[in-house]
Amino acid sequence: MSNIELIDDNNLKCRFAIFKNANLKLASGEVLKNFKLAFNTFGTLNENKSNAILICHALTGDQYVTGNNPITGKDGWWARMVGPDKPIDTNKFFVICSNVLGGCAGSTGPKEKNDSGQDIYGADFPSVTIQDMVNAQSKLLDALKIDQLCSVVGGSMGAMQALQWSIDFPDKIKSVIHIAGALKHSAQNIAFHEVGRQAIMNDLNWHKGNYASNNSIPERGLAVARMIAHITYLSEDAMHRKFGRRLQSRDIISFGFDADFQIESYLRHQGRSFVERFDANSYLYLTRAMDYFDHSESFKKTLEFINNSNEHLKYLVISFTSDWLFPTRENKEIVEILNSLSKNVSFLEIETDKGHDSFLLDEPDLDFAIKGFLESNYRNEYE
Amino acid sequence: MSMNKIQSIRKDWNLIESLIRDNSRVLDIGCGEGDLIQQLEKNISAKVHGIEKNQELALKAIARGLSVTHGDAEKDLSQYSNQSFDYVILSQTLQAMVEPKKILSELLRVGSKAIVSFPNFGHWKIRLQLLLKGKMPITEGLPYSWYDTPNIHFFTLKDFQNLCNEMNIVIENSIGLTSKGKQFPIDSSLLSANIITSEAIFLLSYKDFEPIKIKLSNKIFAKNSAIVN
């Protein structure tokens, strides 16, 4: 008999949904007998349970979407977007955000103990996909007794999950906000991920993934992986604007390999601070999940022939002009398919030089689009 | 924008609305903030979608909950399937398109009917300005100087009728608006229509049948069919 337990964790300032004997079948064919999801909710679920929004986090995000993140001591990763009187207004909506399966902020993943309760999964953790993450999230919704979400919102890997929701559970959602994503992870993106993974796996402290039992952490590899990835989140223009060739704490170049330039110092800082909050194995698993994401062949067919319960669905797809990781072209592929099938879709390309990370940064047009889309659709439906 | 201009656009929209059957699927190209499609959604329960090139305008339309694709219709129309809309509206935009002829055929590929409105370059005020001043005319309907106008193809009512003929497009209905906003049916036989029409609104469709084309009398057939319809 499967059973589900919901508990509050006051130390981690989040909640847990613990699924026992759930036998969650993964895309790889493996089965997770037990699993748990760490999640947070904000705002109040209304009486007819019509105001719930699920926010899906990106590669290195977590359930601390807004409010204080006890792990970093800083604001949540989308605090500027989500909260009372924010674009996703928690005075109006009930916001749910869960750490993905395979993540490292409390949900079942390589950092957590396996079913024996003794050892840490490490590299024995089964491969997870975006589909598996979404499947686990749907179980969480069932546990929270929410039949239908008013919207699923996500950027980057979160956008992949939002799209996956519309494919796997169209009748459980009313709308999708897909920001800076794609139908598939491109060859270039896989290439960058592979370099990051090689950096981790070539760190002698990685110990084939079982570093926990060796009391070591592949910090250097993970930091390098983060530095590479961080470059892909920016744009050349933004990097030039923020750093140029300016020197860091010096007036002349050192003729050595110190961080002479501000950009070097910045990337080193990004790498260092990342290892304090993220697990190297989780990074391997989650980047792999993104690599495996590919609906380029199946999306149109699925919508056209297999799943017809998506007539009511409203899509909002947003891209950024300077995003070269998930460029407009790739976001638009989704829009083109939806338009060719006469689905209800809106698309907005926002002009900015901030690159892929734009969805996390101050972009007033993004705020306005999301707020307007959510609130006007909600009004049209219920008022 | 002057009050007159806004009123004339509203008039244009009400006329467009009168040409559309209730509960239709409607695509508005160059939908701006979505005022027209919102009006159609509200008044005649149309299922609407818009295309808008300008980011600010597309954003405003999307934030109103309308289904709008931000993009360039001349590139993006190709993504819509054949006959996926009952009506495709091109309001006051044809003269700004790079390839108006291609757009016209695209409108009728995507929609079973097209509604096209445009300012008539054959209006007497424009003719008079060009004749007397010898300079490119500037009027309320065409308020820009030649060097900074978005309108790159100037054409008259007659030019448009001829193009429809050439493309085997049926003019199901055509309505003229005078510069004072007075509405009248454009009759192809009425010589003065091209002189008094300030703005024209056309309801177009393709012929249900392929016209028989005999090499030498091609033109005659085309002419006749326009009258027949």
Q: Tell me the pLDDT tens digit for each residue of A370-380.
A: 999 999 999 98
Q: From the list A349, A376, A377, which residue is nearest B70 (CB)?
A: A349
CB spacing of A335 vs B65 below 8 angstroms? no
CB spacing of A347 vs B64 below 8 angstroms? no
Å between A381 CA and nearest CA of chain B: 11
Res. A268: pLDDT tops 80: yes
Res. A225: pLDDT tops 60: yes
CB spacing of A365 vs B59 below 8 angstroms? yes
Of B196 and A220, the one with more pLDDT: A220
Q: What's this model's pTM, rounded to 2 decimal places?
A: 0.92
Å between A378 CA and nearest CA of chain B: 9
From the list A185, A193, A295, A356, the catalytic residue is A356
Q: How much is the pLDDT for B7?
A: 63
Token pair 């001829």 is found at: B162
Res. B226: pLDDT tops 70: no
- Residue B121 is part of which domain span? 3-228
Q: From the list A332, A345, A369, which residue is nearest B67 (CB)?
A: A345
Q: How much is the pLDDT for A239?
A: 97
Confirm whether A357 is a catalytic residue.
Answer: no
Q: From the list B55, B63, B67, which residue is nearest A372 (CB)?
A: B63
Domain coordinates in residue numbering, chain A: 3-185+294-382, 189-288
Q: Which of A339, A341, A349 is the best substitution to test chain B (most B C-beta atoms within 10 A)?
A: A339
Confirm whether A356 is a catalytic residue.
Answer: yes
- Which residues 38-97 of B are in CB contact (within 8 Å) with A? 49, 55, 58-59, 62-71, 79-81, 84-85
Q: What's the CA gap between B83 and A72, in Å, rounded?
A: 54
Contacts of A276 (CB under 8 A, 6+ apart): none
Q: Tell me the pLDDT tens digit for each residue of A22-55.
A: 999 999 999 999 999 999 999 999 999 999 999 9
Residues in chain A within 8 Å Cβ distance of B27: none
Mean pLDDT of A236-246: 96
Q: Tell me the pLDDT tens digit for each residue of A173-222.
A: 999 999 999 999 999 999 999 999 999 999 999 999 999 999 999 999 99
Domain count, chain B: 1
Confirm whether A166 is a catalytic residue.
Answer: no
Kindly report the number of other CB atoms within 10 A of residue A321's CB atom: 17
Q: How much is the pLDDT for B213?
A: 54
Which residue in chain B has the smallest CA separation from A367?
Answer: B63
CATH 3.65.10.10 fits A3-185+294-382, yes or no: no
Could you tell me the CATH number of the domain that includes residue B44? 3.40.50.150
- Which residues 18-37 of B are in CB contact (within 8 Å) with A? 25
Res. B221: pLDDT tops 70: no
Q: From the list B64, B70, B80, which residue is nearest A348 (CB)?
A: B70
**Which architecture does CATH list for A189-288?**
Orthogonal Bundle (1.10)
Tokens, residue A36: 């748990």
Residues in chain A within 8 Å Cβ distance of B87: none
Per-residue pLDDT band at B227 (split at 50, 70, 90): very low
Q: Tell me the pLDDT tens digit for each residue of B65-117.
A: 999 999 999 999 999 999 999 999 999 889 999 999 999 999 999 999 999 99
Q: How much is the pLDDT for A382?
A: 81
